Chain A
Amino acid sequence: MAKRLEDYLRRVGSYLADEDREEILLEIRTHILERAGSRGEPTAEEVDRVLDDMPPPRAMAASYSEGQEIIAPELRNFLFLYTGILFAVHLGLTVVASIAGTTLALFPFFYAPATHRLSSILLFLPFAFVFDFGLVSLFSLPSASGLPI
């Protein structure tokens, strides 16, 4: 009994944010044991039956973060637009850097290596895109939208 219950709680916990994790898990544990042993101490079979009926660990944990968006919904439309603009600038600088043979960098926003090899440029561009996407995402956090979360 203990192993399966502990495994369920461990998996729920792995999806929860650190804050309040222990208390949430204690409350879920209590609930499972209460439901399983409504007429006294639960048996292994009773706990198993409750676990079979519980939401999957990820769904259980996800319900605690409902409404806590990583990207502010009102900024979502701009995410790809601004990423596209930033990447276009990055691409332009990369072309300029390769023609001029000079590394261009504006820390921490841009880095365009000096390389004449097309294969190196093609390898670099996906990294640049992911970096640009991450940078725009940082400015799209709900707290960055200036609205109450």
Chain B
Amino acid sequence: MTFDAFEKEMNRGFLQLLILMVLETPLYGYMIIKAVAGEGYEVEENSLYPLLRRLESKGFLESRWEIEDNKPRKYYVISQPGRRLRARLMEIWELQHRVIAKFKRGTGDG
């Protein structure tokens, strides 16, 4: 497994949580990419769009198509089950963060 594969694997869970947080406000795909890029995090198209569909198909996101400026845009927003999932994922993320911070001190990685 290359570094890229490890990175992709690590980003997958993070991206799920990030999307569930960002979509408190309805946004379409390109807006999500721009919003997240503004914070210095790059999301690739082939990670974002399939993930949006998977979360939608499991009921964690809702969507609607809108025509704006003659362009069809698919807006996504978090659903009630999505908020429950987000709360659970946040607990996991906070626990992971604490555990990593604790053990990082012993690695000498700074």
Binary flags per residue of B21-49, CB closer than 8 Å to A gives 1, else 0:
00000001110000000000000111101
Q: Judge if A52 is at the interface, Cβ distance under 8 Å.
A: no
CB-defined contacts of A23 to chain B, threshold 8 Å: 74
CB-defined contacts of B74 to chain A, threshold 8 Å: 23, 26-27, 30
Let me know if B44 and A66 touch, CB within 8 A.
Answer: no
Q: Judge if A24 is at the interface, Cβ distance under 8 Å.
A: yes
B30 in complex: contacting residue of A34, A54, A67, CB < 8 Å: A34
Q: Judge if B71 is at the interface, Cβ distance under 8 Å.
A: yes
Number of interface residues of A (CB under 8 A): 19
Q: A30-B73, A54-B45 are in contact. Are A63 and B50 (CB under 8 A)?
A: yes
Q: Whole-angstrom distance between the alpha carbons of A33 and B70 in the complex?
A: 12
**Chain B contact residues, majority secondary structure:** helix
Binary flags per residue of A38-65, CB closer than 8 Å to B gives 1, else 0:
0000000000000000110001100110
Let me know if A27 and B47 touch, CB within 8 A.
Answer: no
B47 in complex: contacting residue of A20, A24, A63, CB < 8 Å: A63
CB-defined contacts of B28 to chain A, threshold 8 Å: 30, 34
Q: Whole-angstrom distance between the alpha carbons of A30 and B67 in the complex?
A: 11
Q: Find the B residue at minimum CB distance from A60.
A: B46
CB-defined contacts of B44 to chain A, threshold 8 Å: 55
A59 in complex: contacting residue of B29, B30, B46, B72, CB < 8 Å: B46
A55 in complex: contacting residue of B30, B45, B71, CB < 8 Å: B45
Q: Whole-angstrom distance between the alpha carbons of A66 and B9 in the complex?
A: 12
- Residue of A26, A66, A67 ringed by the most chain B CB atoms within 10 A: A66
CB-defined contacts of A34 to chain B, threshold 8 Å: 28, 30, 71, 73
Q: Show the binding face of A for B, using Cβ within 8 Å.
A: 20, 23-24, 26-28, 30-31, 33-35, 54-55, 59-60, 63-64, 66-67
Interchain Cβ contacts under 8 Å between A and B, 24 examples: A26-B72, A26-B74, A28-B49, A30-B28, A30-B29, A30-B30, A31-B45, A31-B49, A33-B71, A34-B71, A35-B30, A54-B45, A55-B45, A55-B46, A59-B46, A60-B45, A63-B46, A63-B47, A63-B50, A64-B49, A64-B50, A64-B53, A66-B50, A67-B54
